[in-house]
Structure 1
Amino acid sequence: MASLHQTPFSDNPVRAVLLLGCRILLGLVLIAHGWQKLTIIGIDGVAAQMARSGVPVPTLAAIVAATIEFVGGICILLGLFTWVAGSLVALLMAGAYAFVHRGNGVLVDNGGWELVAAIGVAALLLALTSPGDLSLDQALSAPHGRPRRRGRRS
């Protein structure tokens, strides 16, 4: 009898490739947003935007947001410390929703919450499941560089 955790992709090489694709896409989006905050807009510009939105301690919040997006994006892309990076990104996106996007409707072109929700949910799913077999988390936890098998969850 199949377990409740089993899916058509459980313990399947396709699962590892799909998780890798999700991590690459999410990681690139986060890196781009973090880089934008760090270099294009700059911390002072991001802090000013956050202050206008009512974010407490906007300079600290800008530094934290830029760092989590940039470093978290790299970690998610590589599948390194994925549960930590995914959890921090999900919390950051919850804060972005609460302070900036909540009252602006759904669509991102009106400042809505659709992008932060999609990023937050994707990050949370990676944090709660696994980065997959094609990840540094998996490689570093396995003896002699071989992916470690953990039952049906890979």
Structure 2
Amino acid sequence: MDKPATRDAALLFLRAVLGFVFIAHGWQKIAIDGMDETIGAFSAMHVPQPKLSAYITMVAELACGGLLVVGFLTTIAAAVLTLVMAGALYFVHLDSGVFVGTGGFEYVLVLIAALIMVIVFGSGRVSIDGALTR
């Protein structure tokens, strides 16, 4: 495989995995836990404006996760999710140490790093964005 094809395949894989993870978390908030429980959890974690924050987070995870999977408005979607994850890092995980088992920030930090890679390198050619820019 040539380098551009390898890069495009890696970006497709990264986008698909990130999109899947964010869609799963958004779906969990609305359909598995329910928004009342999600709002309660946000409130217990002292997230500001827990109702508004829970709905914004759920919509961002579902919508932007889907945009990442198909590669449309990719850098915008990744930037929005980076802001959501920065909020989660600051308001929820930062004071709990490193490890995810204790509520720490390692997982959120990896998600932020992966999203920044998408922002920097874009969606690649195997995407709606790639098709529209050719």
TM-score (norm 1): 0.82
Query: Which one has a bigger Cα radius of gyration?
Result: 1
Cα distance in 2 for partners of 1:10, 1:63 equals 43
Q: Which residue of 2 aligns with 1:133?
A: 125
CA positional deviation for 1:141:
2.3
Q: Compared with structure 1, are the counterparts of its residues 10 and 60 closer, same or farther at alpha carbon in structure 2 (3 Å cutoff)?
A: farther
Q: Which amino acid aligns with 2:72?
A: L
Aligned to 2:12: 20
Question: For the residues of structure 2 that align with 1:121 and 1:10, how far apart are their CA atoms?
Answer: 25
CA distance in 2, matches of 1:121, 1:86: 11
4+ residue stretches of structure 1 with deviation over 2 A? Answer: none
Tell me the percent identity: 36
Match of 2:86 in 1: 94
Q: Distance in 2 between matches of 1:43 and 1:81?
A: 27
- Matched with 1:50 is 42
Give the counterpart letter for 1:130 in structure 2.
G
SS of structure 2 residue aligned to 1:12: helix
Q: Distance in 1 between matches of 2:107 and 2:57?
A: 15
Can you give the 5+ residue segments of structure 1 that lack an aligned partner in the other structure? 1-8, 143-154
Q: How many residues align?
A: 134
| Structure 2: segments with no counterpart, 5+ residues | none
Structure with more relative contact order (C-alpha pairs < 8 Å, separation 6 or more): 2
Deviation at 1:10, TM superposition (A): 8.7
Give the structure 2 partner of residue 80 of structure 1.
72
